[in-house]
């Protein structure tokens, strides 16, 4: 049993199957369920998957490295704009577009990470906000690239693998997104268990000690930011491909704040938490905001307050703890 990083380890990985396989299988099952049970809501589910990438990306920097940021949507939005522009310029192959989005997000991540991770605490938070707002202001201004407040439209990607074209029911879009999510999720599960990922956890728990054992803290955080940027960029590119438009809301502050809420709802420092949080929050939003957007804000506010008081480490953590108490796998330590 891994005892080195007990603060954020969730007892879910202690099983006979590799966690990557469990991840892919779970997403496949849930995806199939969504596909067959809610054929009317595929567009919503596709958008949900796109945002899940943003929350995963935030989890990498906040949950695994302890960096508080409220500007993560900048990475997502730049990925979306990059893919959108590439598509309009003639690069219509979907997987290539994902690559473009990932590259755009990774570059932005490295750049903003180099700035943000130099600080700690409040200065860090404010710089992250300022960076996000800077990107948002620029996207509004550079309307030749971003379409300004009208948004970037006319994104028509080629059929996936030259066979499955994007239909108006959003079936291809949904399956494509779900597959990409499963692959990226499995890669990330592997990544956070790598020596690099474990060291990032060490930095989060005690960066001074990490420095003392010879870890180069700053470069690692910047690289982690780059990886997070790539993940967010893929999410942005997916959203651009599947919806055909990119709006200013993809880079806005609200998007960043919502991602943070989703992450903490699910549980930071755990990739499962990121996905669970993204799904729960958006389904909840989808249902409640249909009635009145302001009731929605009241409810989310109340929910957040209750979580901070009763389940400060997220519901997925609380759920796994409850589960392992109900069904103990090994004698109590």
Which chain residues interact with other proteins by CB under 8 A? 62, 68, 70, 115, 118-119, 121-123, 125-127, 129-131, 133-134, 137-138, 140-141, 253-254, 257, 260-261, 264, 268, 294-305, 307-309, 312
Whole-angstrom Cα distance, residue 52 to residue 274?
7
Whole-angstrom Cα distance, residue 51 to residue 17?
28
Q: CA 87, 240, 260, 187: dihedral to nearest 10 degrees?
A: -70
CA-to-CA separations, 61 to 165, 199, 254, 264, 290, in angstroms, rounded: 35, 13, 18, 13, 32
CA-to-CA separations, 13 to 8, 19, 172, 312, in angstroms, rounded: 13, 6, 32, 21
Q: How far is the CB of 261 from other proteins (least distance, A)?
A: 7
Q: Pick between residue 131 and residue 272 the one whose CB is nearest to other proteins.
A: 131
Whole-angstrom Cα distance, residue 121 to residue 204?
13
Q: Pick between residue 7 and residue 194 the one whose CB is nearest to other proteins.
A: 7
Q: Pick between residue 101 and residue 267 the one whose CB is nearest to other proteins.
A: 267
First to last CA, the chain: 11
Q: How far is the CB of 23 from other proteins (least distance, A)?
A: 25
Q: Pick between residue 184 and residue 271 the one whose CB is nearest to other proteins.
A: 271
Q: Pick between residue 96 and residue 311 the one whose CB is nearest to other proteins.
A: 311
Q: How far is the CB of 187 from other proteins (least distance, A)?
A: 26
Q: How far is the CB of 159 from other proteins (least distance, A)?
A: 39
Q: Pick between residue 116 and residue 234 the one whose CB is nearest to other proteins.
A: 116
Whole-angstrom Cα distance, residue 125 to residue 112?
12
Buried (b) or exposed (e) across 36-55, using 16+ Cβ within 10 A? eeeeeebeebbbbbbbbbbb
Q: How far is the CB of 108 from other proteins (least distance, A)?
A: 15
Nearest to 82 by CA among 252, 229, 255: 229
Q: How far is the CB of 111 from other proteins (least distance, A)?
A: 12
Contact between residue 246 and residue 104 where contact means Cβ atoms under 8 Å apart: no
Q: Pick between residue 20 and residue 207 the one whose CB is nearest to other proteins.
A: 207
Contact between residue 44 and residue 173 where contact means Cβ atoms under 8 Å apart: no
The helix (run of H) or strand (run of E) holding residue 68 is none
Q: How far is the CB of 306 from other proteins (least distance, A)?
A: 8
């Amino acid at each position: 049993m891994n005892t080195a990083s007990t603060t954020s380890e969730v007892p879910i990985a202690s099983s006979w199957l590799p966690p990557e396989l469990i991840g892919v299988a779970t997403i496949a099952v849930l995806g199939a369920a969504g596909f067959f049970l809610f054929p009317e809501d595929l567009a919503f589910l596709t958008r949900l998957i796109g945002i899940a990438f943003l929350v995963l990306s935030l989890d990498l920097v906040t949950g695994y490295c302890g960096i508080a940021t409220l500007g993560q949507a900048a990475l997502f939005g730049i990925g979306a704009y990059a893919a959108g522009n590439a598509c309009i310029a003639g690069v219509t192959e979907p997987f290539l577009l994902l690559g473009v989005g990932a590259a755009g997000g990774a570059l932005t991540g490295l750049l903003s990470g180099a700035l943000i991770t130099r600080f700690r605490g409040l200065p860090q938070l404010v710089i992250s906000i300022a960076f996000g707002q800077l990107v948002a202001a620029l996207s509004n201004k550079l309307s030749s690239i971003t379409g300004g407040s009208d948004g970037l439209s006319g994104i028509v990607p080629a059929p996936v693998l030259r066979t499955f074209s994007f239909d108006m029911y959003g079936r291809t879009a949904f399956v494509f997104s779900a597959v990409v999510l499963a692959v990226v999720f499995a890669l990330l599960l592997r990544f956070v268990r790598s020596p690099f990922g474990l060291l990032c956890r060490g930095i989060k728990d005690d960066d001074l000690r990490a420095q003392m054992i010879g870890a180069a803290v700053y470069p690692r955080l910047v690289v982690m930011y780059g990886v997070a940027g790539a993940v967010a960029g893929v999410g942005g590119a997916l959203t651009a491909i599947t919806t055909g438009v990119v709006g200013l809301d993809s880079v806005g502050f609200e998007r960043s704040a919502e991602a943070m809420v989703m992450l903490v709802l699910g549980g930071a420092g755990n990739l499962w938490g990121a996905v669970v949080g993204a799904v729960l929050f958006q389904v909840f939003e989808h249902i409640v905001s249909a009635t009145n957007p302001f009731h929605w804000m009241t409810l989310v506010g109340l929910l957040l307050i209750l979580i901070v008081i009763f389940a400060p480490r997220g519901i997925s953590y609380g759920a796994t703890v409850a589960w392992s108490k109900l069904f103990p796998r090994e004698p109590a330590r």
